[in-house]
Chains A and B, each alone.
Chain A
């Protein structure tokens, strides 16, 4: 189903984790999720927007995100995503895996 096409230079699977992490700050729409990731990583992680939305929808279908339509800060109809309880659990699992993995990679690279 073409789920994991190019995700903007991101490691496979990490985009999901980043989205989940971003949404711990509260409900957001897709645009601000992309902006947040990009800004927070000081532009290092570039989220290709075309891939962001399929990822959001996939996470929603898995029950990790829920969505509702609301009005944005500049009075437009926008779809807001928020983290569900299952999403929180998933994020915890993914970030612990990530921590183990990245520290292992660092250890190897600095050996």
Chain B
């Protein structure tokens, strides 16, 4: 059956492009037959008579060979295109509205696709599984990496395992063709051709590439042989690194790079868009697990107590997933007890691994889906626009429709014709939308994902995005076009042919309903965007408790250049002195975390002489800082003193605490002179400072203890330097780079930026979200304005007779103007009246993205209504003005 059908299609398609040939063949066949017959019967006349109806023969054969309905469709398309060309105004507005609506949807969808939907670029990704453990009430220690998720069932689940657990799974579990493991390595010092920087990589098991099925773009990948103790140290680099640092030079193969001080040979470059099992992760390089002793010195690889590795597996084709899961579980359960992790009823949970572990992509899920909803609303508004345009156009085309119905076009045929026209419009809109989306994408990506550590998603217009755009276009055509088409085709031909059109134009009730709906939806978007905008303003206004302006930050990791303990402190102090000597620099200090970078340290302590339950600790945030940190950062010192050069390793241990700390633990009494105990050491509080934000602008300043970093050299690793300048901070950046390089070329200097930029970066997700929502709300407003304008223009045209009569009877221009404006404002008011309760009900969904403003903030809502009414008045102004230009004399003549 199918084969027959396929043959027919093939033959028909062939003739489709050889129409003329087919006609010629038919004629030839006929001519041959008639000639033969004429020979037999004597006269051609007789031959023809015996043959029968020649036209019927031609038509039947042509129909047999033709594509039937497709050809009618082609006629419809050509007719529709001609009509659309003839009314360029309508076509432009319609196509643009849809292009904006569909473009916005395609843009956001392409992000959703890249972040959430796309599979890893590997063969048979559907066989991949992420291995998680699950259980109730986990109490974990020495646990790193993937966070713990609460499952809907009430269980917890997480994805980090110990290395011995991985080995057990790999060697003893049936049902998988490969079980492989990996973990991110952050802030590795990476030296390539004498240039040092920090970089993120992955440490992977030797079978990872075989398990994923990924080939190198250049050279080779990491193989099992590279993952044996004593194997030559090798590294493969990602395309992103190759592009950025090596300018796509194929000569990188065989070059040596230094990773945390050890040399590795580059043996391969990975294909573009593949950054390991974690899509979009900012990964530069991958090294085998055998590199652990050098790259993660001191890391207890063999310890069953340290859970840190993520595991993925590839199911054997045809294997039973449940059996494989059970087999893993049998291996896993006995490992839990001997480790120090406490998990009730432990188990193994296999998750779909086609996109790799969810990881940080999970955090993008909610905002992306929210944006998807926002652009969905924009598209609905665009559809409403189109529908009301089509209704108005339908009224104008009544005559044409009546004529076509009168000469025999069926109702179905008319509806199909109209839908074809709509489809043309929406496909044109969709095509243009795709173009807009790819422009917008560049903008969003540059805005969304700047910086070294930004995710590197491979956002492409792939087939899925194209199908989405096409589906949205077609669906849109049906949504906005069906009602107007049904209505237009319902006309009674007799009535349609009788009168002219203007006087009898229908009242367009449906069009008004659509405008009200548009206004209502726009209000939702405006209110949401308003809340997000206020959030950003609030964030800008937050007082961080320190003076951020005029401070330059940079991060230095001298540990990877070989410095340890006291040497490290001495080196940092030398850097501090040299930088302080740069002209334009006022003061220099340093700290282990940069303020408002998101990084944070915290820990427990006790207070001597204060009883606590055994094993209980008080908790506070820690910041290890250099001398005069408070003064340099502009944190006010309230009591006592700042750190001085005298607070060195041999001096008594001291700390400074902030006001919140004093309030919480000393009931607001003067804490200076009191002591806190950490471990066995007592530290004396020598000062109290004002509260300053630490890790987050949106949270209250935490209870913070400041330590002089020099008093605990063993704790010192990478440090952030804070440079307060008398000149614009970035102008001293080159001098700083030169100074540091002169002290030691191998210490990677990174994250050079102003403190203000650091703060900007910490609020950039809010800002991005606000900008996008604001943009889409603006779009919605524009579309609604156009819709309202269209309807009012139509109303004025329809009522020009009445207006003329009114003016003839003495109505002033102002009265006429107001009459039209009032109608528009009534429509907008009705939309707003519906939109306000709707907004109150749904703005909740953005609650987690707000700061300093409630989802139901009345001022924001009132502002949104005011903007909406103003736009409505502007949109109605032109038709209203036109109404005042109606010439009463002309009207009276024509009536």
Contact = CB atoms under 8 A, between A and B. Distances in A.
A75 to B, nearest CB: 11
Q: Which of B7, B50, B57, B60 has the most CB of A within 10 A?
A: B60
Nearest to B26: A53
Given A49-B51, A53-B61, A60 B11 contact: yes
Contacts, number: 72
B60 A2 contact: yes
A61 B64 contact: yes
Nearest to B55: A50
A108 interface: no
Given A49-B33, A63-B8, A76-B35, A57 B3 contact: no
A1 B63 CA distance: 7
Instruction: Give the interface size class of chain A.
Output: 20 to 34
A57 B33 contact: no
A1 B65 CA distance: 11
A21 interface: no
Contacts of A61: 7-8, 11-12, 64-65
Given A57-B65, A72-B32, A50 B51 contact: yes
B60 A79 contact: no
Contact of A50 (B3, B8, B32, B52): B52
B826 to A, nearest CB: 56
B29 A53 contact: yes
A14 B102 CA distance: 55
B52 A77 contact: no
B36 interface: yes
Q: Which of A5, A51, A54, A86 has the most CB of B within 10 A?
A: A54
Interface in B5-28: 7-8, 11-12, 25, 28
A6 B811 CA distance: 75
Given A2-B63, A29-B32, A30-B33, A63 B7 contact: yes
A72 B35 CA distance: 12
B249 interface: no
Contacts of A31: 32-33, 36-37
A54 B7 contact: no
Interface in A13-57: 29-31, 48-51, 53-54, 57
B9 to A, nearest CB: 9
B22 to A, nearest CB: 10
Instruction: Tell me the interface secondary structure of chain B in the complex.
Output: helix
B29 A51 contact: no
Given A1-B68, A53-B29, A63 B57 contact: no
Given A76-B32, A79-B32, A58 B51 contact: no
B32 A49 contact: no
Interface in B53-88: 53-54, 56-57, 60-61, 63-65, 68
B680 interface: no
B53 A50 contact: yes
Contacts of A78: 29, 32
Contact of A57 (B53, B54, B61): B61
A60 B10 CA distance: 12
B669 interface: no
Given A30-B33, A31-B37, A72-B32, A50 B7 contact: no
A54 B60 contact: yes
B25 A79 contact: yes
B302 interface: no
Contacts of B11: 60-61
Interface string A83-102: 00010000000000000000
A16 B827 CA distance: 68
A7 B29 CA distance: 19
Given A49-B50, A50-B52, A61-B8, A79 B64 contact: no
B171 interface: no
Contacts of A57: 61, 64-65
A77 B33 CA distance: 11
Q: Which of A1, A54, A57, A79 has the most CB of B within 10 A?
A: A57
A79 B51 contact: no
Interface of A: 1-3, 5, 29-31, 48-51, 53-54, 57-58, 60-63, 69, 72, 76-79, 86
Q: Nearest 3 pairs between A and B by C-beta?
A: A50-B52, A63-B7, A31-B36
Given A50-B57, A57-B65, A61-B8, 10 more contacts: A2-B63, A31-B37, A49-B52, A50-B51, A53-B57, A62-B7, A62-B8, A63-B3, A72-B36, A78-B29
15 contacts: A5-B60, A30-B32, A31-B32, A31-B33, A31-B36, A49-B51, A50-B57, A53-B29, A53-B30, A54-B60, A60-B11, A61-B12, A62-B4, A62-B7, A86-B4
